[in-house]
Amino acid sequence: MGYCMYLRKSRADEQAENTNRFDTLQRHEDILLELSRKLNIKIEKIFREIVSGDSIEARPVMQELLYQVEKKLWQGVFVMEVERLARGDTVDQGIVARTFKYSGTKIITPIKIFDPVNEFDEEYFEFGLFMSRREYKVINRRLQHGRLSSVKEGKFTGSIAPYGYSKVKLKGEKGFTLEIDNDKASVVKLIFSLFLKGTENSTGYHTLGISKIAEYLNLYNIPSPANQKWTPSTVHDILTNPVYTGKIRWNYRPAVKSVETGKIKTKRYRNSNDKLILINGLHQGIVDDVIFKKAQNKLYNYSSVPRNHSKSVKNPLAGIVTCGICGAKMVRKPYKNKKDFIVCPNNCGNVACFLELLEEKLIASLDILTKGYKVKFNHDSNQGPVRDEDIKNLSLMSLKNKEYALKKQLSKVYSLFEQGIYSKEIFSMRKTKLQNELNNIKTAVTNFAEEKDLNKQVNEFFKDMEITEIYRKTTDPKIKNSILKELFYKVEYKKEKSVRWNSPPDAFEITIYPKLPHL
């Protein structure tokens, strides 16, 4: 059996590194190697923990070390202090103490050599772990108070700046704030415009939901926060983040711990607490409060279609009609050889009716509401929907900026090779990678003129005609549903008596909550 070394940073080390700019692990490694030379002991393996965690479960290198200690592969472990081995709760401390005790593995520090088999060393070791836990809690409490104070001062305390901003150090004081990145900020403004106004091209007007916005941004090669493909969740996070109005949000998704099958699980839930802090930040907003509130209202009233994603939409009223008694979304209930019904899934006493009858009454209401109105298109890009031409200009600008950055990187690679810093192999690998990325950018620019319609089928119906004509022209439930969702926030349905009480089939009430269509 030989000896190994375990290195891990503490939170205090990370803070010191940021201030003094040195590598903690390297310093500790030098100290312990010097100690091993004095003791005439050869270090056969070094375990480096690069992640920070307050439990063994969050530290994979520590798990590997404990496994090898348990198998009695090591006679002793070099570590800067016993506190580096475990700062978790009493369960973690017990696991570490028991593993080293029953394997007979020594713990060697610059201050003392601990032999867990020795009764006095065992007590000293356990006391050291206990005190380290107390110290950890004190440091963590101090850090949390410091962060909360910074938040209340309007400073940004996150590690990564939100998309559209850069994280900058405040001059003359502690802390950070956010600075607008103009290129990315224009994408944030575009996302809000697409969500609230839609887009417009030569074929007509398109309404875009969150998923379609992600597809649209990917279509025009607009860079995402992670420089990957845009996803609906990324778009949703931008639309709901008040940081874009100049606010700082704190405790939005607090960590909630629970025990499942003997293991601690940490989950984060959105809007799950009443301790959310929202305060004016030191940074400038990208969108104004009015636009942001409109986006939140639309998200709140946005009706998702309740259906199995493996199947197509068959209910034109899906997500539109709600129960007038319990507020649940009404659902379609098909019957063999009979007409479809629309029912409340909660069985609250609201009597069902034929879906066809409800749809007819709804369209009759729509006739009255929109009589004489025709669908037209606003060609003012400042007031109306976003034009494809504007999107192309933004996309082209993003591609050009990326091309410029890649050329700078390629130039730096050549410079490092000429200085002898890069070997021939590394130079070749880096050059090939950057050249491939440049070729992809050039191909994207070459193919830039190609246009793809996001929803051709819906476009065919959005012409200069009355709104109810558009609805009646199609038999596709998905298109009908799409149109209704643009015209209504919701429709409440209520029917108290069934046919058995001699009530006619259409003896129900509906209350409509219309939107103003893009006219």
**Quick one: pLDDT at residue 19?**
47
How are beta strands 255-260 and 263-268 bridged, if at all?
Answer: antiparallel
Find out whether 269 and 256 touch, Cβ atoms under 8 Å.
yes
What pLDDT does 36 receive?
93
Quick one: pLDDT at residue 376? 42
- Residue 388 has a pLDDT of 54
CA 352 to chain centre: 40
Q: 191-195, 248-252, 309-313: which has the minimum mean pLDDT?
A: 309-313
Classified by CATH at the fold level, domain 2-146 comes out as Rossmann fold (3.40.50)
* Helix, strand, coil share of the chain (percent; to 5): 45, 15, 35
In 3D, which of 150, 384, 447 has the Cα closest to residue 282?
Answer: 150
Tens-place pLDDT, residues 194-203: 888 877 655 5
Task: List strands edge to edge, sheet with 321-323.
Answer: 321-323, 488-494, 509-514
The closest of 98, 1, 9 to 44, measured between CA atoms, is: 1
The pLDDT, as a whole number, for residue 466 is 58
pLDDT at 377 over 90: no
Pairing of β 199-201 and β 204-206: antiparallel
pLDDT of residue 292: 92
Tens digits of residue pLDDT in 172-194? 888 899 999 988 898 899 899 88
The answer, yes or no, to whether residue 165 has pLDDT greater than 90, is yes
Whether residue 20 has pLDDT greater than 80: no
pLDDT beyond 60 at 12: no
Q: Mean per-residue pLDDT for 326-349?
A: 82
What pLDDT score does 458 carry? 40
The whole-angstrom separation of Cα 381 and Cα 271 is 35
Q: Which residue has the higher pLDDT, 186 or 506?
A: 186
Asked whether the predicted pLDDT for residue 271 surpasses 70, the reply is no
Residue 383, pLDDT above cutoff 50: no
- What mean pLDDT do residues 197-210 have? 66
Say what the pTM is: 0.48
Does residue 289 or residue 394 have the better pLDDT?
Answer: 289
β-strands 204-206, 255-260: how paired? unpaired
The residue among 396, 394, 373, 380 whose CA lies nearest residue 467 is: 373
C-alpha distance from residue 154 to each of 5, 176, 278 (Å) = 43, 9, 10
pLDDT in tens, 398-457: 666 677 677 777 887 777 777 776 677 777 877 888 788 778 777 766 665 444 443 443
Rounded-to-integer distance, Cα 406 and Cα 439, Å:
10
Range 234-260 burial, b when 16+ CB lie within 10 A, else e: bbbebbbbbbbbbbbbbebeeeeeeee
**Among 6-10, 159-163, 250-254, 503-507, which range has the highest average pLDDT?**
159-163
pLDDT for the residue 309? 46
For residue 514, pLDDT over 60 is answered with yes
Question: Do residues 248 and 156 make contact, with C-beta atoms less than 8 angstroms apart?
Answer: yes
DSSP 175: S
Q: What are phi and psi of 405, to 5 degrees?
A: -65, -40
The better pLDDT of the pair 381, 103 is held by 103
The beta-strand segments (E) located in 436-501 are: 488-494
252 has a pLDDT exceeding 90: no
Residue 460, SS3 per DSSP: coil
- 451 near 206, Cβ under 8 Å? no
Mean pLDDT over each residue of the chain, to the nearest integer: 77
Q: What pLDDT, in 10s, does the model give residues 451-491? A: 444 344 344 434 444 566 667 777 788 878 877 877 777 88
Distance of CA 329 to the CA centre of its chain: 27
Specify whether the CB–CB gap between 105 and 75 falls below 8 A. Answer: yes
Residue ranges per structural domain of the chain: 2-146, 321-375+462-514
Residues listed for the chain: 519
Report whether pLDDT(302) > 70: no
- Give SS3 for 215: helix
Tell me the residue type at 440. Answer: N
Residue 229 has pLDDT above 70, yes or no: yes
Whether the pLDDT of residue 86 is over 60: the answer is yes
State percent of the chain over pLDDT 90.
16
81 DSSP 8-state letter: -
Q: Are 457 and 479 in contact (CB under 8 A)?
A: yes
